Amino acid sequence: MNVIDSSAWLSYFAGDGNATMFAAPIKKLPELLVPGVTIIEVFESLLSQGDEEAVLIVIAHMKQDKVISCDSELAMDAAKFRMPHKLPAGR
């Protein structure tokens, strides 16, 4: 399974220098998990830059994948996984 954070999605949709690095895992829909919080972050970031109709198209693309809710149990599991690997926390 792959989880792509909001900065990677924004890079992919912007087509910047890192977009190709994120394209392969993003295009593997059966293996992709999209945390609900990632949708919030991408929506907020893109909405501040442009029109809502274009942003909704981007979000529709993200929702093709498996969107997962982050309840308290998942949040605690993520923290337990993140800490030993020294992964950054969300904003």
- Strand partners of residue 66: 33
Domains present along the chain, CATH in parentheses: 2-85 (3.40.50.1010)
pTM for the model: 0.75
With vertex at residue 19, the alpha carbon angle to CA 18 and CA 25, rounded to the nearest 5 degrees, is 110
Look up residue 8 and give its two tokens.
């990677």
**In this structure, are residues 33 and 2 in contact, taking their beta carbons and an 8 Å threshold?**
yes
Spatial CA neighbour of 9 closest among 30, 34, 1, 28: 34
Each residue's pLDDT, cut to its tens digit, for the chain (91 residues) gives 888 889 999 999 999 999 999 999 999 988 988 988 889 899 999 999 888 998 999 999 999 888 988 778 877 877 787 778 776 665 4
Amino acid found at 1: M
